[in-house]
């Protein structure tokens, strides 16, 4: 009724609401859903974090890393411990038992569950702020779409709000750091990254990229100025690390801290194989051993068993050489090197997000004892660049679905099954709508410059014309790969129990690992190609 008045020229993308209102609104809607998920299944990580609350609350700092009350010893860097101590201030008010070192063990009353769940939800504000800072200069439609991709990321919801961890908060710091780097404020970016490393050291995989980039981008402009800046950056980082580890050095605990943070004796793969390169290596070894045995060679069966044996010291390989942490380290460095060379030659602020994401991809694919959750480290930053081109969108569409699907085994109980499926489904639908609207408009604009983008284009819009005008389409090979996920899921959930019963219980998980590893390798190659080709 009022519409004729309301129709504004189409070129303006301004909305009556400012970006903060919209982002807050969306974040609150998501927070409501997160709150509803509170009674869902939570993993042992829940008790881990509860124990850390009690530990940091009751013990003095010097004993944080030497306490043995629970098997879940503190193995995150000091800032995270301080974060837990900060949370414990409130936990004590909610229910004193939560922070009781002994009585609180395996405490699972509603109070602790709601408190910890809400702590994750509230700490996600860091993520919101990171997204806001990274996208505030974009046009409103792109901004809101990226915000949806990150805030409504099904992987984050599954890992943080069902499985239980604080990744949203940590990724928020990473995004903040990236936002400063993209704006050219390198010192602040470097500072935040150092802080992040003192929260969770797994983020260190991107440190080489940061180092090269900051060295070449921040420390330039002549020898004197460059050297001055290098010293400045060095001082900032050193101060951060000193603040984190200094007290432990003072207490003579630093060895204990490092021993806890880098536990040796864990295997190449986690109990459920993260979908990375080593999955192929293991499978290749098995196939080779099988074939050689058929040919009459005397192959000694590995002492470790097929599933569980991968955790532990014993060599699980029958034919292929044993993999040591050093080898994986070298392989990660080697894989990152093209990106380092690029960053050395031409350090551009608008490329840094991609480079960092690429580094995490390499770390995920070739790293030692990688968790499947680590795929979030590159899926979330890549969301920021997903709208820069259609190729990006297409790649992100595939990658985020594969990454989310590879997290499915984390929630293995029947109760959460519809939740994870619906989360992924909704995410895919939103991505599909978002990308197709985004690239439809750009295509329409390109085809009819200066003309009004009106109903006419929208009306006769069918899938065939989309392809011609360069709208968002998923190629058949990607489409069939994604449909294959359906087959894998149907096999694991329905066909396997019916056809094979209880035999080969590891098979469904293994198939998921292998199949998702294919997608991850594709994503790695795609990103590598993109980085090499980019100018």
Contact partners, residue 191, CB within 8 Å, separation at least 6: 236, 237, 240
Cα 292 from Cα 284, distance rounded (Å): 12
Single out the residue of 3, 264, 476, 498 in contact with another protein (rule: CB under 8 A): 3
Q: How far is the CB of 506 from another protein (least distance, A)?
A: 24
Looking at residues 457 to 496 of the shown chain, list those that interact with another protein (rule: CB under 8 A). 458-459
CB of 437 to another protein, least distance (A): 4
Q: Which has the closest alpha carbon to 88: 63, 58, 117?
A: 58
- Give the separation between CA 506 and CA 235, rounded to whole angstroms: 50
| CA-based nearest residue to 76, from 228, 227, 258, 207 | 258
**Smallest gap, in angstroms, from Cβ of residue 146 to another protein?**
12
Residues of span 313-352 touching another protein by CB under 8 A: none
* Residues within window 353-412 making contact with another protein, judged by CB under 8 A: none
**Span from 225-233, 287-295, 390-398, 451-459 in contact with another protein (CB under 8 A):** 451-459
Q: Candidates 450, 455, 476, 501: give the one binding another protein (CB under 8 A).
A: 455
Please calculate the CA angle 353-198-120 and round it to the nearest 5 degrees. Answer: 80
Distance of CA 96 to the CA centre of its chain: 33
Q: Which is nearer to another protein, 221 or 418 (CB)?
A: 418
Task: Using CB under 8 A, count the residues that bind another protein.
Answer: 51
58 touching another protein, by CB under 8 A: no
454 near another protein (CB under 8 A): yes
Nearest residue (CB) to another protein, 157 versus 512: 157
First-to-last CA distance in the chain?
A: 51
> With respect to another protein, which residue has the nearer C-beta, 184 or 497?
497
- Is-contact 115 90, C-beta < 8 A? yes
Among positions 87-146, residues that touch another protein (CB under 8 A) are: 114, 140-141, 143-145
Candidate residues 231, 429, 500, 525; the one interacting with another protein per rule CB under 8 A = 429
Exposed e or buried b per residue across 396-431, where buried means at least 16 C-beta atoms within 10 angstroms of its C-beta = bbbbbbbbbbbbbbbbeeeebeebbeebbeebbeeb
CB of 320 to another protein, least distance (A): 43
Per CB under 8 A, the list member of 419, 444, 512, 516 interacting with another protein is 419
Looking at the Cβ atoms of 1 and 498, the one nearer to another protein is 1
Judged by CB under 8 A, the residue of 238, 426, 467, 495 near another protein is 426
Among residues 109, 137, 389, 415, which is the contact residue for another protein, using CB under 8 A?
415
Measure the CA–CA gap between 435 and 146, rounded to whole angstroms.
Answer: 10
Tell which one of 290, 344, 433, 494 touches another protein (CB under 8 A). 433
The answer to whether 405 and 485 are in contact (CB under 8 A) is: yes
Q: Give the integer Cα–Cα distance in Å for 156 and 150.
A: 8
Q: Which strand (E) or helix (H) includes residue 186?
A: helix 186-199
Q: Which of 192, 411, 423, 443 binds another protein (CB under 8 A)?
A: 423
Q: Which is nearer to another protein, 58 or 437 (CB)?
A: 437
Hunting for tokens 């995989």 — which residue is that?
Answer: 205
Contact 132, 150 (CB under 8 A): no
Tokens of 529: 């190609």
Spatial distance between the Cα atoms of 464 and 476, rounded to a whole number of angstroms: 14
Contact string 17-36 vs another protein (x = CB under 8 A): x---xx--x--xx--xx-xx
Name the residues that contact another protein, by CB under 8 A.
1-3, 6-8, 10, 12-17, 21-22, 25, 28-29, 32-33, 35-40, 114, 140-141, 143-145, 414-415, 418-419, 422-423, 425-426, 429-430, 433-434, 437-438, 453-455, 458-459
């Amino acid at each position: 009724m009022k519409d004729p008045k309301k129709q504004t020229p189409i070129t303006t993308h301004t909305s009556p609401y400012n970006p903060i209102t919209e982002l807050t609104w969306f974040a609150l809607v998501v927070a409501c859903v997160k709150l509803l998920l509170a009674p869902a299944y939570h993993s042992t990580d829940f008790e881990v974090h509860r124990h850390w609350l009690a530990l940091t609350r009751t013990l003095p700092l010097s004993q944080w890393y030497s306490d043995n009350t629970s098997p879940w010893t503190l193995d995150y860097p000091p800032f995270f411990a301080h974060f837990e101590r900060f949370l414990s201030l409130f936990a004590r008010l909610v229910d004193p038992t939560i922070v009781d070192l002994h009585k609180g063990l395996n405490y699972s009353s509603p109070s602790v569950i709601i408190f910890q769940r809400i702590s994750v939800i509230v700490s996600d504000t860091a993520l919101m702020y990171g997204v806001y800072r990274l996208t505030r200069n974009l046009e409103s439609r792109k901004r809101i779409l990226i915000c949806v991709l990150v805030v409504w990321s099904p992987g984050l919801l599954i890992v943080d709000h069902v499985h239980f961890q604080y990744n949203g908060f940590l990724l928020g710091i990473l995004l903040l750091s990236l936002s400063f780097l993209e704006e050219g404020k390198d010192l602040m970016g470097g500072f935040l990254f150092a802080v992040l490393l003192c929260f969770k050291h797994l983020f260190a995989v991107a440190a080489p990229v940061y180092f090269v980039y900051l060295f070449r981008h921040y420390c330039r402009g002549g020898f004197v100025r460059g050297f001055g800046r290098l010293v400045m950056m060095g001082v900032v980082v050193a101060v951060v690390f000193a603040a984190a580890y200094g007290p432990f050095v003072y207490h003579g605990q630093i060895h204990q801290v490092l021993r806890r943070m880098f536990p040796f004796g864990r295997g190449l793969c986690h109990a459920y194989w993260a979908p990375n390169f080593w999955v192929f290596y293991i499978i290749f070894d098995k196939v080779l051993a099988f074939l050689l045995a058929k040919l009459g060679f005397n192959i000694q069966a590995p002492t470790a068993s097929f599933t569980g044996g991968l955790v532990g010291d014993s060599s699980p390989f029958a034919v292929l050489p044993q993999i040591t942490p050093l080898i994986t380290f070298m392989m990660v460095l080697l894989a990152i090197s093209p990106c380092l060379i690029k960053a050395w030659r031409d350090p551009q602020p608008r490329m840094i997000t991609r480079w960092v994401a690429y580094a995490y991809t390499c770390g995920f694919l070739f790293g030692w004892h990688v968790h499947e959750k680590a795929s979030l480290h590159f899926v979330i930053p890549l969301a920021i660049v997903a709208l820069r081109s259609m190729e990006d969108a297409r790649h992100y569409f595939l990658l985020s679905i594969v990454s989310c699907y590879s997290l499915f085994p984390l929630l293995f109980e029947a109760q959460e099954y519809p939740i994870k499926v619906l989360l992924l489904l909704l995410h895919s639908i939103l991505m599909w709508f978002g990308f197709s609207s985004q690239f439809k408009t750009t295509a329409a604009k390109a085809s009819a410059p200066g003309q009004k983008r009106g109903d006419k284009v929208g009306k006769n819009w069918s899938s065939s014309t989309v392809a011609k005008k360069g709208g968002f389409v998923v190629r058949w090979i990607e489409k069939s790969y994604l449909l294959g996920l359906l087959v894998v899921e149907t096999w694991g959930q329905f066909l396997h129990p019916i056809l094979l019963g209880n035999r080969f219980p590891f098979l469904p998980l293994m198939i998921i690992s292998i199949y998702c590893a294919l997608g991850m390798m594709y994503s790695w190659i795609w990103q590598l190609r993109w980085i090499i080709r980019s100018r």
